[in-house]
Amino acid sequence: MSDSSAGHDDAQELPAAALAAFREAVGEAHVVIDAGTRRRYETATFATSARVPAIVRPGSVAEVQQCLQVANAHGVPVYPVSTGLNTGYGSAVPARSGCVVLELRRLDRILDYDPGLGCVTIEPGVTQEQLFRFLQERDAPFWLDVTGAYPGHSLIGNIAERGFGHTTYSDHYAHLGAMEVVLPQGELVGTGFGQYRDAKATGYYRWGLGPHFDGLFTQSNLGIIVKATLWLMPRPAYTQFFAARVDRDEDLPLLIEALKPLRLDGTITSAMHIGNDYKVISAIQGYPWEAAGGETPLPRDVLAAKSKEWDCGPWNASGALYGTRAEVALARRKLKAALKGKVSRLQFLDERLLGLAKRFARPYSWLTGLNLNEMLKMVEPVFGMTRGVPSAGMLPSNYWRKPGPLPAVSPDLSPEADRCGVFWIAPVAPTSGAHAAAVWAIVRDTMLHRGFEPAVSITLLTERTLDCVVNISYDRDVPGEDERAMACHDALLERLCAEGYYPYRLGIQSSGKMPPREAGWERLMAGLRRELDPNGILAPGRYLD
Amino acid sequence: MSDSSAGHDDAQELPAAALAAFREAVGEAHVVIDAGTRRRYETATFATSARVPAIVRPGSVAEVQQCLQVANAHGVPVYPVSTGLNTGYGSAVPARSGCVVLELRRLDRILDYDPGLGCVTIEPGVTQEQLFRFLQERDAPFWLDVTGAYPGHSLIGNIAERGFGHTTYSDHYAHLGAMEVVLPQGELVGTGFGQYRDAKATGYYRWGLGPHFDGLFTQSNLGIIVKATLWLMPRPAYTQFFAARVDRDEDLPLLIEALKPLRLDGTITSAMHIGNDYKVISAIQGYPWEAAGGETPLPRDVLAAKSKEWDCGPWNASGALYGTRAEVALARRKLKAALKGKVSRLQFLDERLLGLAKRFARPYSWLTGLNLNEMLKMVEPVFGMTRGVPSAGMLPSNYWRKPGPLPAVSPDLSPEADRCGVFWIAPVAPTSGAHAAAVWAIVRDTMLHRGFEPAVSITLLTERTLDCVVNISYDRDVPGEDERAMACHDALLERLCAEGYYPYRLGIQSSGKMPPREAGWERLMAGLRRELDPNGILAPGRYLD
């Protein structure tokens, strides 16, 4: 790999014949080779070294196929991204140097929508915001599930990484009807019942007939998803948001154990999130440089003061209950009983109460204490996400360690361009208080020791597993921080894996640093790569070599 | 293929070296070559022609691996079955002649059980009955999901075929944590987080890291599942069984449309079954030869009389509501409102009421009319299945067209040995009244025209799809019926596929008769076969060539 500080050298330029062929495939306007743009696609929220010789933007599935044919014919690897907003995991930067970025944002059509059964068929350029508006315009009785990242990120891109959100349909890959995929050599394949062009159940019944294999094209470089049918959550009659907290760090296991049976038996169907104090504070404000006297990591007393100011505990759970009012009332009673004596506070919020809180901040507010308006700024997008409303509200939190006040909320913020430092690492464990405590101890000790705030949210991701989403934030403009943060990332990843807590997805910063997998698994994957991509032109190094 | 009436010829015997190698691998006692046993493994519930040179029964995963090495070394194809009770789809009969049956029933250990999160790890020989007893003995707070087939059938075998049952966890393949698979050349691979030997979340978090591919080993010949972690349904506080019916055949769409929103929004989480009159009657009694004057198919007037006698309508829905008593009461209210004015009867049953009905058949019974005790014989196992209780109660229905009274309920019944004729075909459609009616019209017209009773149950299999499970029953001892029934099967399959209603699984009778799939799909699968099974020794012709 080339040195990260080096400029663009000739060796990273596309051979003229390949460049001409890509232009032929997608049109000259959609092949970008200017240095500034290339640099942008080489920039993540951490140090990277991959060079991008060109960005190619096909406008149709046929053009995607042609691009792969060009790649094979000219031996030029391509790195597909949908909208490329994979912040904290590498953004649009290829896993290896020399890859042409194949950006799919021009494929942005909503191809089909079934208002009876809540299925929508989309292309990879379709964003959270776009589908949200589409459903709003139709007053659809269905919600999409959104993530807290960019409103403008690709839904298919997130499925491909098996991301998750906040509602009953939070596990995005689990709520998928069918895909169409372009294989590395350019062939188009439908998954599930897509094997038959005229099958009525394609997109409705996922497994199809014969081997079920759509997952081969998630977290992999075995194909490019160019179309997907997503399942949408039926809009419930009523939603009640809830928030609970414990006052002592050591009560985390208690909280997890209390919530576990409710998540397992379906009383709580939303992917509950349990954020720690660092996480909550960094979602509301920038680093309190003054109070901290310029020190990092955040001094304990400043953390305590900020927790008090923002009225958060060491662990703060939130989620939503869905159903008719009567159904939600029953679930609420169960939740209260389960948490009784275990949490220091349990609060509920619905749309009506939120409206009241906004109008009469003081006397009628459900939250007590200071800074209510500021807190509502955070609560409102989180509550919105439990109802499928995308929000840019979390974007400023990428600027935690940057000097000065946080930027205003805007979907156009670019933490990459603004030299924010952000890593995500997200280890998975069976849902249990003991596992949660073990993961948290590793994260806390490793990060504090290395000078970073252990901002964490623990998600009760499925009925049986939790995912501890760890955020390493820093300022790339501070000399040496890129290296220190990467060293912290590497140490944390190594310790988590050594204890058996492997991540559910990988950023490009993590791929090459994972422990070796079982030999049979490695050989099977190598065989599939060899069979499907004999020239190794599709995203080499992305999950698989 | 050899003629189905031919005896065992030398050509179908194993080469001596291969036989010796299999004996070496599993021990002489576990390689069976006597003609009687071989004949039994060549017998399904319809005409077959495949010859089985031997049955080999490995006793461990290592022995399964050795058997595949033998198969590769000697060029002898093997056909794996778990317990081989795939009645109506080919039982244990290989898809092609000359395959050694690799029977896995000796791998019958329950390897691990997590009573906190309801995960159980089993081998392919573990049966429904065995796991049921295991959970009963521990008073486990979890249920397994059972099918109405043999209590002694393999749980993994059913997952491999993506079968379904009756509870919230009815879609068996959807409730799977991880697998271990022996690939065709003998290599062992773990799916999901099984890629790391020490991952804590293996079996809990299904997708693992990197490509998700466990479905490659379902409905395929790409590997042999030797271990699986199943998720179990948390036992609800209360279960209420319900039964509804319509009185006119043409009201089927109305019934489907009324239930559809409740299935979609999770009010009904069980896989509801809607059986027609033929289905109900054939579940209770044998063919009324006398009333029908020896005629087939069943005359309309006899059907009407029997429907009256057994108190069933042309379409009879049943399912279960789960939760606390209060939750179930709410769901019950929703169900009543949804069905109001659309069904002629809606009845509820719980354990208490069932007990009462059994004790005081007449005055306190929930069912009115005749033959209450006989009806309870059917209701009890169906109600039991919604609570994870396996039953042999449906086995006698395989004897529908046999002369004389139905045999007594017993798990040892062998419809294959008793020359019962049974085919299953199970086309899938998006859940809608119109699709249900369209599928039903094809089934009814094709089958009646060809002289078979169209016994059907329509299952609301997932939130968005229905599966019309069609049963073709006949008596193999009636000359010409094997051919007529197969012709009916073929005609029905062809018409269903022509209309876009493809089946969710295939028996060996159907595989070679499916319309061609999309070229890209075929080439992808052929490539995987070539890569994983270059010698073509694993179950050739089973789903893939």
Angle at alpha carbon of residue A229, lines to B520 and B171, rounded to 5°: 90
Average pLDDT over residues B4-31: 80
Task: Return the DSSP state at B406.
Answer: P
CB contact under 8 A, B211 and A216: yes
pLDDT in tens, B422-474: 999 999 999 999 999 999 999 999 999 999 999 999 999 999 999 999 999 99
Residues 433-472 of B with CB under 8 A from A: 435, 461-465
CB contact under 8 A, A500 and B119: no
Residue A16 burial (CB count, 10 A): 8
Please report residues of A whose CB lies closer than 8 A to that of B198: 500
Average pLDDT over residues A121-132: 98
Q: What is the rounded (10 degree) CA torsion for A147, A150, A156, A160?
A: -70
Q: What is the pLDDT of residue B144?
A: 97
Q: What is the pLDDT of residue A190?
A: 98
Please report residues of B whose CB lies closer than 8 A to that of A190: 518, 520-521
Q: Which two three-digit tokens encode residue A152?
A: 């403008």
Give CA separation, A209 vs A227, B33, B146, B216, in Å: 19, 34, 22, 11
Average pLDDT over residues A499-511: 96
Residues 244-283 of B with CB under 8 A from A: 260-261, 264-266, 269
Whether B364 shows a pLDDT value over 70: the answer reads no
Element containing residue A218 per DSSP (H, E): none
Please report residues of A whose CB lies closer than 8 A to that of B162: 207, 212
Note if the bond before A297 is cis, omega within 30 degrees. yes
| Cα A370 to Cα A372: distance, rounded to the nearest angstrom | 6
Is the distance from CB of A244 to CB of B97 less than 8 angstroms?
A: no
| Cα A304 to Cα A313: distance, rounded to the nearest angstrom | 9
pLDDT bin (cut points 50, 70, 90) of residue B361 is low
CB contact under 8 A, B521 and A190: yes
pLDDT in tens, A493-503: 999 999 999 99
Residue B11 burial (CB count, 10 A): 10
pLDDT bin (cut points 50, 70, 90) of residue A7 is very low
- Smallest CA–CA distance from B328 into chain A, residue: A327
CB contact under 8 A, A504 and B219: no
Please report residues of B whose CB lies closer than 8 A to that of A65: none
pLDDT bin (cut points 50, 70, 90) of residue B376 is confident
Average pLDDT over residues A471-494: 98
Chain B: give the shortest CA distance to residue A74, in Å.
Answer: 23
Average pLDDT over residues B511-522: 95
pLDDT bin (cut points 50, 70, 90) of residue B362 is low
- Smallest CA–CA distance from B237 into chain A, residue: A265
Q: Tokens 């820093």 label which residue?
A: A474
| Cα B514 to Cα B492: distance, rounded to the nearest angstrom | 11
Q: Which two three-digit tokens encode residue A56?
A: 């190619």
Chain A: give the shortest CA distance to residue B278, in Å.
Answer: 26
Is the distance from CB of A43 to CB of A416 less than 8 angstroms?
A: yes
Burial (0-12, 13-18, 19+ Cβ within 10 Å), A117? buried
CB contact under 8 A, A234 and B261: yes
| Cα A308 to Cα B427: distance, rounded to the nearest angstrom | 60
Whether A291 shows a pLDDT value over 50: the answer reads yes
Whether B74 shows a pLDDT value over 90: the answer reads yes
| Cα B258 to Cα A332: distance, rounded to the nearest angstrom | 28
pLDDT in tens, B274-319: 999 999 999 999 999 999 999 999 999 999 999 999 889 999 999 9
pLDDT bin (cut points 50, 70, 90) of residue B84 is very high
Chain B: give the shortest CA distance to residue A392, in Å.
Answer: 28
Q: Which of A211, A525, A544 sits opposite B222 (nearest CB)?
A: A211
Residues 13-32 of B with CB under 8 A from A: none
pLDDT bin (cut points 50, 70, 90) of residue B377 is confident
CB contact under 8 A, B210 and A544: yes
Please report residues of B whose CB lies closer than 8 A to that of A227: none
**Is some CB atom of chain B closer than 8 A to the CB atom of A517?**
yes
Please report residues of B whose CB lies closer than 8 A to that of A464: 117-119, 177, 204-205, 231
**Is some CB atom of chain B closer than 8 A to the CB atom of A494?**
no
CB contact under 8 A, A231 and B464: yes
| Cα A71 to Cα A21: distance, rounded to the nearest angstrom | 9
- Smallest CA–CA distance from B502 into chain A, residue: A199
Among the residue ranges B72-86, B108-122, B376-390, the one predicted with the least confidence is B376-390
Q: Which of B162, B463, B521 sits opposite A189 (nearest CB)?
A: B521
Whether A10 shows a pLDDT value over 50: the answer reads no
Which residues are within 8 A (CB) of A487 and not within 5 positions of it... i.e. 6 or more apart?
A: A450
| Cα A330 to Cα A69: distance, rounded to the nearest angstrom | 58
Give CA separation, A300 vs A289, A305, A307, A403, A406, in Å: 14, 9, 10, 20, 22
Q: Which of B190, B501, B523 sits opposite A200 (nearest CB)?
A: B501
Please report residues of B whose CB lies closer than 8 A to that of A197: 518
Whether B375 shows a pLDDT value over 80: the answer reads no
Please report residues of A whose CB lies closer than 8 A to that of B504: 205, 207, 209
Whether A516 shows a pLDDT value over 80: the answer reads yes
pLDDT bin (cut points 50, 70, 90) of residue A367 is low
Among B119, B209, B325, B328, the strongest candidate for a mutation testing the A interface, having the largest count of A CBs within 10 A, is B209
Chain B: give the shortest CA distance to residue A86, in Å.
Answer: 16
- Smallest CA–CA distance from A219 into chain B, residue: B210
CB contact under 8 A, A193 and B428: yes
| Cα B420 to Cα B473: distance, rounded to the nearest angstrom | 8
Q: Which of B201, B206, B532 sits opposite A430 (nearest CB)?
A: B201
Please report residues of A whose CB lies closer than 8 A to that of B210: 219-220, 525, 543-544
Q: Tokens 């707070």 label which residue?
A: B141
pLDDT bin (cut points 50, 70, 90) of residue A441 is very high
Residues of chain A above pLDDT 90, percent:
88
Residue A133: how many CA atoms within 13 Å on its side-chain side? 8
Q: Which of A210, A219, A234 sits opposite B219 (nearest CB)?
A: A210
Strand-pairing partners, residue B55, are B32, B101
Q: What is the pLDDT of residue A361?
A: 64
Whether A293 shows a pLDDT value over 90: the answer reads yes
Average pLDDT over residues B502-519: 96
Average pLDDT over residues A295-303: 97
Which residues are within 8 A (CB) of B272 and not within 5 positions of it... i.e. 6 or more apart?
A: B259, B263, B317, B318, B319, B459, B460
pLDDT bin (cut points 50, 70, 90) of residue A52 is very high
Whether B76 shows a pLDDT value over 80: the answer reads yes
Q: Which two three-digit tokens encode residue B259?
A: 């239930």
Whether B111 shows a pLDDT value over 70: the answer reads yes
Residue A538: how many CA atoms within 13 Å on its side-chain side? 30
**Is some CB atom of chain A closer than 8 A to the CB atom of B234?**
yes
- Smallest CA–CA distance from A498 into chain B, residue: B198
Nearest to A324 by CA among B271, B238, B266: B266
| Cα A520 to Cα A527: distance, rounded to the nearest angstrom | 10
Which residues are within 8 A (CB) of B133 and not within 5 positions of it... i.e. 6 or more apart?
A: none
Return the exposure string of B299-336: e unless at least 16 CB atoms fall within 10 Å of the residue's CB, then b. Answer: eeebbeebbebbbbbbbbbbbbbbbbeebbebbbebbe
pLDDT in tens, A152-180: 999 999 999 999 999 999 999 999 999 99
Q: What is the pLDDT of residue B360?
A: 72
| Cα A328 to Cα A323: distance, rounded to the nearest angstrom | 6
Query: What ipTM was predicted for this assembly?
Result: 0.95
Residue type, A153: H
Element containing residue B115 per DSSP (H, E): none
Q: Which two three-digit tokens encode residue A504?
A: 């559910």
Among the residue ranges A205-219, A284-298, A358-372, the one predicted with the least confidence is A358-372
Average pLDDT over residues A39-54: 98
Is the distance from CB of A148 to CB of A87 less than 8 angstroms?
A: no
- Smallest CA–CA distance from A503 into chain B, residue: B209
CB contact under 8 A, A117 and B530: no
Residues of chain B above pLDDT 70, percent:
95
Whether A147 shows a pLDDT value over 90: the answer reads yes
| Cα A492 to Cα B285: distance, rounded to the nearest angstrom | 66
Q: What is the pLDDT of residue B9?
A: 46
Q: Which of A213, A260, A429 sits opposite B215 (nearest CB)?
A: A213
CB contact under 8 A, A193 and B502: yes
DSSP result, A454-474: -EEEEEE-SSSEEEEEEEEEE
Residues of chain A above pLDDT 70, percent:
95
Q: Which of B234, B327, B504 sits opposite A205 (nearest CB)?
A: B504
Whether B367 shows a pLDDT value over 80: the answer reads no
Average pLDDT over residues A89-107: 97
